[in-house]
């Protein structure tokens, strides 16, 4: 829901594009998404294959979701544009979520 808000609703910060509040928000939201998805997939017992590949599945699903959100913004949401930097921020957030999961549960 937050990723589909019009850009006029977000605070503007005069920093580099990659370090804008929008980019940090994307990375944070996707880190939380991946972390929670890995926890959920690794604890479920209905699908052993998903349990075994929880990290890979959550990375794939979340990355595809991030790309899908950007395509929705570009083609269907007035006032928003799909941005490759947002896709990169989403993917970086996914990787940070994996690192955070491993830091808490594995290392």
Which tens digits make up the pLDDT trace of 33-49?
999 999 999 999 999 99
Task: For the chain, give the percent of residues with pLDDT over 70.
Answer: 83
User: What is the mean pLDDT of the segment spanning 15-35?
Assistant: 84
Please state, in angstroms and rounded to a whole number, the distance separating the CA atoms of residues 61 and 75.
21
Please state, in angstroms and rounded to a whole number, the distance separating the CA atoms of residues 35 and 97.
5
Q: Which residues contact 99 (CB under 8 A, 6 or more apart)?
A: none
pLDDT band at residue 81 using 50, 70 and 90 as cut-offs? confident
pLDDT of residue 17: 54
Please state, in angstroms and rounded to a whole number, the distance separating the CA atoms of residues 106 and 84.
32
The conformational region for residue 98 under phi > 0 = left, psi -120 to 50 = alpha, else beta, is alpha
Measuring CA to CA, which residue among 81, 87, 70, 105 is closest to residue 18?
A: 87
């Amino acid at each position: 829901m937050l990723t589909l808000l019009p850009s006029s609703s977000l605070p503007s910060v005069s920093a580099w594009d990659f370090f804008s509040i929008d980019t940090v928000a994307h990375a944070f939201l996707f880190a939380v998404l991946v972390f929670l998805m890995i926890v959920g997939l690794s604890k479920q017992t209905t699908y052993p294959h998903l349990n075994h590949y929880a990290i890979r599945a959550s990375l794939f699903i979340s990355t595809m979701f991030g790309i899908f959100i950007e395509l929705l913004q570009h083609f269907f949401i007035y006032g928003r544009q799909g941005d490759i930097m947002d896709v990169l921020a989403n993917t970086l957030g996914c990787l940070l979520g994996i690192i955070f999961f491993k830091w808490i549960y594995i290392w």
